[in-house]
Amino acid sequence: MALVPCQVLRVAILLSYCSILCNYKAIEMPSHQTYGGSWKFLTFIDLVIQAVFFGICVLTDLSSLLTRGSGNQEQERQLRKLISLRDWTLAVLAFPVGVFVVAVFWTIYAYDREMIYPRLLDNFIPGWLNHGMHTTVLPFILIEMRTSHHQYPSRSSGLAAICTFSVGYILWVCWIHHVTGMWVYPFLEHIGSGARIIFFGSTTLLMNSLYLLGEALNSYIWDAPRTKPPPSQDTQSSLNYANPVKNLCKDKQTLEGLERQELERVVI
């Protein structure tokens, strides 16, 4: 039995994301006043994706609770649509984008933090908020994958969707550079055009790989074969009681065996 119901966990995670978003938007940073605002950062887009996803999860839980035992086919049909939307959002956006943000941010941060998160930002963003944006995303999404089964879309449609998102964000970053003359991330200023193309192509491939990783992880958790334990004596007795014809056949075979033994003794 779970220590905390998964429905309660989803509500808590949703509230935490709402708190992180509110605190982040309350910070008066120069970058928030420039073209694109907060929406030019993949971290902020990812926070919105995670908040929307867990909002859908909570809405699905509430709908499931309200429609339980109602027998209303229309409500059940709407619930199935909501579940499909929840599963699609996790597969295509929440998992690959969330893991990408955590992995790429901390990899570049470990190499040279000035390339992605300059020390100047420490004056605006507290440490707990930084971890809320770049660390807790991963355990939260893994908890969701472990506590609930999610039906992934077909691989071709899923990969097409994540490619569309990746290319769309790359074009958005390039457009911001075209308008403002500055790159969203400082490290893009220090590499050449060819290296940028390779980087953008690599990030798209990484996004696709993370989609496949999420699909494999979901399959490993939920689709792995599980051996069923043998039925207990009480269960076996109940099954025998529920099959009187089978029991009658067994009794007849037993009786015939006893009669055969008795005849053998008489002959001897």
59: exposed, middle or buried (Cβ count in 10 Å: 0-12, 13-18, 19+): middle
Question: Residue 118: its pLDDT value, please?
Answer: 86
What is the rounded average pLDDT for all residues in the chain?
Answer: 84
**Proportion of the chain above pLDDT 90, given as a percent:** 57
Rounded to an integer, the average pLDDT of 82-102 is 96
Q: Residue 226: pLDDT above 90?
A: no
Q: List, in order, residues 6 or more apart from 147 with CB less than 8 Å away.
A: 2, 6, 9
Spacing of C-alpha 48 from chain mean position: 15
pTM of the predicted structure, to 2 decimals: 0.79
Alpha helices per DSSP H over the chain: 6-26, 30-33, 42-67, 73-89, 95-112, 127-134, 137-147, 155-180, 193-222, 233-241, 244-267
Other C-beta atoms closer than 10 Å to the C-beta of 209 total 14
What is the maximum alpha-carbon separation in the chain? 110
Residue 71 region by backbone torsions, left for phi larger than 0, else alpha for psi between -120 and 50, else beta: left
Q: How confident is the model at residue 254 (pLDDT cuts 50, 70, 90)?
A: low
More confident residue, 159 or 228: 159
Q: Are 91 and 214 in contact (CB under 8 A)?
A: yes
Q: What angle do CA 126, 51, 127 make, to 5 degrees?
A: 10
Q: List, in order, residues 6 or more apart from 129 with CB less than 8 Å away.
A: 20, 23, 24
Tens of pLDDT along 149-198? 999 999 999 999 999 999 999 999 999 999 999 999 888 988 888 999 99
Question: Residue 262: its pLDDT value, please?
Answer: 44
Tens of pLDDT along 123-133? 889 999 999 99
Return the closest-CA partner of residue 27 out of 11, 6, 44.
44
Q: List, in order, residues 6 or more apart from 194 with CB less than 8 Å away.
A: none
